Structure 1
Amino acid sequence: MKLRTTLRGKEYRFRDLTDLLAKANEERSGDALAGIAAADMTERVAAKSLLADCLLSEIRLHSPLPPENDEVSRAIEEGIDEGTYASIRGWSVAELREYVLRTETDGSELLRIGRGMTSEMIAALCKLMSNLDLIQAAAKIEVITTCRTSIGYRGTLSSRAQPNHPTDHATGMKASLFEALAYGVGDAVIGINPVGDAAETIKSLLHATREVIAHWNIPTQNCVLGHVTTQMRAVQGGAPADLLFQSLAGTEEGNRGFGIDLALLREADALIRSEGTADGPNRWYFETGQGSELSANAHHGIDQVTLEARCYGLARRFDPFIVNTVVGFIGPEYLYDSKQVIRAGLEDHFMGKMHGLPMGVDVCYTNHMKADQNDMEALGVLLATAGVNFVIGVPMADDCMLNYQSLSYHDIATIRETLGKRPAPAFETWLEEAGILAGGRLTAAAGDARRFIY
């Protein structure tokens, strides 16, 4: 592997593949905080030029975190289709990029070659792509999954209704949920972030969402985003859960910080398949986000884009229903401003899709970040153009419990209408029967939450 080059009369040397991957990243405040970022644009270009010539076989051979040292690396390795890998191992990253962006390379072919790639290969590819490249390539890929209902069809934009409440009050949660439904939001999942992580709290919220779903015969799924062990206790206690949720990190040590490991995820997987309330094969909801490993001091000197790709390599082992990156939630320490948030959202979506995942994005930012709601709306439009499976909505784009800004319910409706996107098919039929949607557009009755009070 070549690790040195000369640009404009100056020689640039890189320590190893880990160093090369980090310095080939687009500017990222988290990498600068970790002390691994390129010193300037010229060094970044030097790193990209060397990475472009790296063979995929070299990337696999020189893994930044060897499988013998990390169970996430082992999970990624074990998930590789060796026949597919053998057919592309001799490609350079530049050749891979050209192949991915060819007009005649369709989404099914991208999914095929993705199964033969390690997460580090997909991250390397991402680092050589522009924002428009990331949109073009991801838009080719269709990933359809089924829990109680199916989402991910081309031409659709699904949504998670996030009716959080600052005291986990079921009536307050329902008021927010009714508004979401009135705007046609919630076909991916009704997913609540609880304030308290007690099994009884999670049981109460799961029963409350199941009551609404059953009363109105809504074709969707429910989930309460507590720690997976608390959700397991709730399910074992009779709570009606369609999905289990868990945040993932890209290293074994990072996952220990979340209180999980592969053994626990396998145990939870068996539980939701035996005692969950959905019929479909896809029973997991995973969440990720650039910077979580660094915040836990579990990054091992690896850049945050590569670590994010590794999260997706772990997620695909469990065949999830939905995955999303919470792209601006951690704050400016990891994504400094709107430019970095927009880039990260497009990177994460593309890398997730190349892993074959049903990828969504929480288009969000914190109030101490150099970003505003206009930036989030712009990213929402870009992601919808790129074929994102789902986005997340909260009332008035302001989460009263998590204290961050996301998309509003009506933002999602507006993006659908502007770009001609539809809800998931079964949910669209339900909205039409309820008089909320007609011909793919909201009716005059939409937005009135009072219709769902009972």
Structure 2
Amino acid sequence: MVRYRGTVGGRGFRFDGLARLLGAASPGRSGDALAGVAAGSEQERVAARRALAEVELGRFLAEPVVPYEADDVTRLILDGHDAAAFAPLAAQTVGGFREWLLGADGPGLAAVARGLTPEMVAAASKLMSNAELVAVARKARVVTAFRSTVGLPGRLATRLQPNHPTDDPAGVAAAILDGLLLGCGDAVIGINPAGDGPERARALLELVDGVIERYRIPTQSCVLCHVTTTLGLMERGAPVDLVFQSIAGTQAANAAFGVTLAMLDEAHDAVRRLGRGTVGGQAMYFETGQGSALSAGAHHGVDQQTLEARAYAVARRYDPLLVNTVVGFIGPEYLFDGRQILRAALEDHFCGKLLGVPMGVDVCYTNHADADEDDIGTMLTMLGAAGVSFVICTPGGDDVMLNYQSASYHDALYLREVLGLRPAPEFEAWLADVGLLDAAGRVRELGPSEGHPLLELGAAGR
């Protein structure tokens, strides 16, 4: 085991192995303290960062933080590493890599993406300020497409999340109508079902597919059930646009989700054969979140942010349409307050973009976290400035099925307005065609007595 040493204020610290060094260098968060991998003091954290800055990037290839022989995610990362893309950075230290990132342009970032490992980008993020995470992520662009195009410069897409505590079709339809009238849904209309049964999932898929077909909406649907459920639905001819799965950064954590890489391989092949996209064929959707491996007892003594970045390597394998971190959803045991959630959101977005993943964020918190609506606004604004591909939006910002707080449809209008952002181009054209945009291209308010074809949607679930 390599021992790393750092000194601050004349006091020396020793870190046994890269995993220990990465944990000690991380900004403070409750999950790392719970796992026993956090720095014991601010002095130790500074010393760890100094030591980490001197580590050569190639060291992360030689010293996996999770053993190669015990973990298929590690094998995926190392066996798929692109040495040619890495070559321009091979002599860099983590500190030098940070400096390079600040000076690189978008094409330069894209050129090295396949040569970067999750541990490399996580290490660099630990040396960066929030502002630096925004500045670098803003330059990285990952564009994907199915029926709409997500990730273009100057655009902000949204997932319309019409969850209902009993999956009532009328309630789901009403939430979809609300979101569409406020210009949301261009990334996906995605429902978390209250139950994972295939009959219920199929009914929701058919409901949303009927809405998309009836109103010719250039978007995609997804019912966020387990990948095995979706595989069965595809075999029985259900209208599946996207395959969803929650994933994590270790084999054991994915096993806790009941998923393997082989299952994802099968689902990816099956959904691509359906060919339901019109402007692109990327058809996988993944969700992640810091703390998932620790909550499953599958963290291998590695800090939660590094493991989160490793989940993006799993996602990258399948060329997905969408990936998002549900950044504050797992709870205050892992991210205690608004400050920790904000930091994690910026880290996740930064790491995902550098690895070439189409990164979105569920800007959210649970009701027992030390956070509030002002934290939602702050996170949205900084992520919008950082070029986030999409955000999740719920009616009123309150998910009554999952019982947590997220961004609202109105929050998406705020972010587009203040940052001059627009919906996905195909969706924007549809909004204009159905009369929901004003002369300035903004979503307009319908008058109290004004009729509109979309208002018929309320009957779709009856």
Shorter-chain TM-score: what band?
A: over 0.9
State the alpha-carbon separation in 2 of the partners of residues 328 and 441 from structure 1: 30
Matched, 1:223 2:228: no
**Residue 24 of structure 1 aligns with which residue?**
25
* 1: CA distance, partners of 2:173 / 2:447: 17
- Matches of 2:336 and 2:447, distance apart in 1: 37
Cα distance in 1 between the residues matched to 2:277 and 2:231: 15
- The AA in structure 2 aligned to 1:63 is P
Deviation at 1:276, TM superposition (A): 5.5
Aligned partner of 1:388: which letter?
Answer: V
Note if contact 1:323-1:358 (Cα within 8 Å) is conserved in structure 2. Answer: yes
Equivalent residue number for residue 306 of structure 2: 306
Find the residue that maps to 1:191 and give its secondary structure: strand
Can you list the C-alpha shifts for 1:172-192, whole angstroms capped at 9, x where unaligned? 101000000000000000000
Corresponding residue for residue 380 of structure 2: 380
d(CA) in 1 for partners of 2:332, 2:423: 33
The CA deviation at 1:117 is: 1.2
Q: Normalization by structure 2: what TM-score?
A: 0.96
Write the letter of the residue equivalent to 1:187.
D
Paired amino acid for 2:270: L
Q: Provide the rounded CA distance (Å) in 1 between the counterparts of 2:64 and 2:47.
A: 21
The letter for the 2-side match of 1:227 is: H
Partner residue of 1:154?
153
User: Does 303-312 or 3-12 show the bigger shift?
Assistant: 3-12
Three-state SS of the structure 1 residue aligned to 2:58 is helix
Q: CA offset at residue 418 of structure 1?
A: 1.2
What is the CA-CA distance between 1:209 and the residue it aligns to?
0.2
1:313-364 alpha-carbon deviations (Å, 9 max, x no partner): 1110000000000000011000000000000000000000001011000000
Q: What is the match of residue 259 of structure 1?
A: 258
Per-residue CA deviation, residues 121-155 of structure 1 (Å, 9 max, x unaligned), is 11101111110000000000111101122111100
Alpha carbons 1:79, 1:317 under 8 Å: kept? no
Secondary structure of the 1:413 match is helix
**Residue identity opposite 1:237 in structure 2:** R
The equivalent of 1:237 in structure 2 is: 236
- 2: CA distance between counterparts of 1:154 and 1:452? 32
Structure 2 CA distance for partners of 1:20 and 1:321, relative to 1, 3 Å: same
CA contact (8 A) 1:183 1:446 kept: no
**SS of 1:160's equivalent?**
strand
Mapping of residues 287-298 of structure 1, within 5 Å: 287-298=287-298
Task: Kindly provide the amino acid, as one letter, of the partner of residue 409 in structure 1.
Answer: Y
TM-superposed CA distance for 1:277, in Å, is 2.7
- Which deviations, in whole Å up to 9, do the C-alpha atoms of 1:213-265 show, x marking residues without a partner? 01111000000000110111112111101100000010000000000111111
SS of 1:218's partner is coil
State the alpha-carbon separation in 2 of the partners of residues 214 and 203 from structure 1.
Answer: 16
Partner of 2:135: 136
SS at match of 1:163: coil
Distance 1:16 1:229 in 2: 38
TM-score normalised according to structure 1 size: 0.97
Q: Is the 8 A contact 1:143 1:357 kept in 2?
A: yes
Tell me the distance in 2 between the aligned counterparts of 1:359 and 1:264.
23
Output the CA distance in 2 between the equivalents of 1:446 and 1:66. 62
For the pair 1:344 / 2:349, whether they are aligned, the reply is: no
The aligned residue for residue 170 of structure 1 is: 169
Distance 2:7 2:376 in 1: 39
Contact 1:417 1:440 in 2 (8 A): no
Aligned to 2:11: 10
Alignment of 1:35-184 (within 5 A): 35-102=36-103, 105-184=104-183
Matches within 5 A, 1:273-292: 273-275=272-274, 277-279=276-278, 280-292=280-292
What per-residue deviation string (whole Å, max 9, x for no partner) do you get for residues 45-89 of structure 1? 000000001000112111111322210011112332111223312
Deviation at 1:446, TM superposition (A): 8.5
- Over 3 Å counting, the alpha-carbon distance change for 1:310 and 1:446 in structure 2 is farther
Mapped contact 2:146–2:282 kept (Cα < 8 A): yes
Spell out the pairing of 1:314-325 with structure 2 (5 A cutoff).
Answer: 314-325=314-325
Q: Which moved further from structure 2: 5-14 or 130-139? A: 5-14
Between the aligned partners of 2:426 and 2:129, the Cα distance in structure 1 is 35
Find the counterpart in structure 2 of residue 357 from structure 1: 357
Question: What letter corresponds to residue 271 of structure 2 in structure 1?
Answer: I
Counterpart of 1:34 in structure 2: which amino acid? A
Report the Cα distance in structure 2 between the residues aligned to 1:157 and 1:417, rounded to whole angstroms: 11
SS of structure 1 residue aligned to 2:323 = strand
User: How well do the aligned residues superpose, as a CA RMSD in angstroms?
Assistant: 1.4
How many residue pairs were aligned?
452
Separation in structure 2 between the aligned mates of residue 112 and residue 138 of structure 1, nearest angstrom: 15
- Residue number in structure 2 paired with 1:397: 397
State the alpha-carbon separation in 2 of the partners of residues 382 and 271 from structure 1.
Answer: 37
- Residue 367 of structure 2 aligns with an amino acid whose one-letter code is N
Q: Which residue, 448, 455, 461 being the options, matches 1:450?
A: 455
Q: Residue 56 of structure 1: SS of its match in structure 2?
A: coil
The alpha carbon displacement at 1:436 in A equals: 1.6
Structure 2 residues not aligned, in runs of 5+: none
Structure 1 residue 451, shift from structure 2 partner: 6.0
Whole-angstrom CA distance in 1 between matches of 2:141 and 2:20: 33
Q: Displacement, 1:303? A: 0.2
